[in-house]
């Protein structure tokens, strides 16, 4: 039987609470973040169609691809992670690269 540690369960609970309120559309897709120990993965998701529009693991690269597809405004989904450290840096870099939250 596999057990999940309490830290992961707390993050999943926070993520579910966030996802109940944050929804991405074609006009304003959801910028979903996942932070592993090494890398931050990000996707722009249209929840209406259930489609990933853009993905990447660098904020500048992601913003560049999004702007090429004429996506400027997004909804930020921090994935249950606390808004500090690498998550905050990623969000600020995405804003600086041209995305509007």
pLDDT at 71: 94
Tokens describing residue 45: 């998701």
Task: For the chain, give the percent of residues with pLDDT over 70.
Answer: 97
Give the start-to-end residue ranges of the domains of the chain.
22-96
Mean pLDDT over residues 12-38, rounded? 93
CA 87 to chain centre: 9
Tens digit of each residue's pLDDT (9 = 90 or more) over 55-73:
999 999 999 999 999 999 9
pLDDT at 1: 55
CATH class of 22-96: alpha beta
91-97 contacts at long range (C-beta below 8 A, 24 or more positions apart):
91/59, 93/59, 93/60, 94/31, 94/42, 94/59, 94/62, 94/63, 96/59, 97/59, 97/60, 97/62, 97/63, 97/64
Average predicted confidence (pLDDT) for the chain: 92
Mean pLDDT over residues 24-33, rounded? 93
Residues in Cβ contact with 31 at an 8 Å cutoff, skipping those fewer than 6 apart: 42, 43, 44, 62, 74, 75, 76, 77, 94, 99, 101
């Amino acid at each position: 039987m596999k057990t999940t540690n309490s830290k992961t369960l707390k993050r999943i609970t926070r993520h579910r609470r966030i996802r109940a309120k944050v929804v991405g559309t074609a006009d304003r897709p959801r910028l979903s973040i996942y932070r592993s120990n090494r890398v931050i993965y990000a996707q722009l998701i249209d929840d209406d169609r259930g489609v990933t529009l853009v993905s990447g693991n660098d904020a500048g690269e992601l913003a560049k691809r999004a702007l090429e597809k004429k996506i400027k405004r997004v909804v930020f989904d921090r994935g249950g992670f606390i808004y500090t450290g690498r998550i905050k840096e990623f969000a600020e870099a995405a804003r600086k690269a041209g995305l509007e939250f």
